[in-house]
């Protein structure tokens, strides 16, 4: 597992927590921030997955 995968998954988890907290507190802004953060984390983890696949392929 490379650093992009780790950081992406951490960011994804933090975003999910923020999203759920926003829902519980009825804070739409926080919920939206959480969704954005979660999706940014998914993208970063995906980039890390691609890098790992490339490294394994060589």
Which tens digit of pLDDT belongs to each residue from 10-54?
A: 999 999 999 999 999 999 999 999 999 999 999 999 999 999 999
Q: What is the pLDDT of residue 58?
A: 64
Q: What is the pLDDT of residue 57?
A: 85
Instruction: Say how far apart CA 43 and CA 58 lie, in whole Å.
Output: 23
Give me the phi and psi of 50, to 5 degrees please: -65, -45
Residue whose structure tokens are 């519980």: 24
């Amino acid at each position: 597992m490379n650093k992009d995968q780790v950081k992406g998954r951490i960011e994804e988890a933090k975003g999910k927590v923020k999203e759920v907290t926003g829902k519980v507190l009825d804070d739409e802004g926080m919920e939206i921030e959480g969704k954005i953060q979660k999706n940014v984390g998914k993208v970063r983890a995906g980039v890390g997955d691609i890098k790992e696949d490339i490294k394994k392929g060589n």
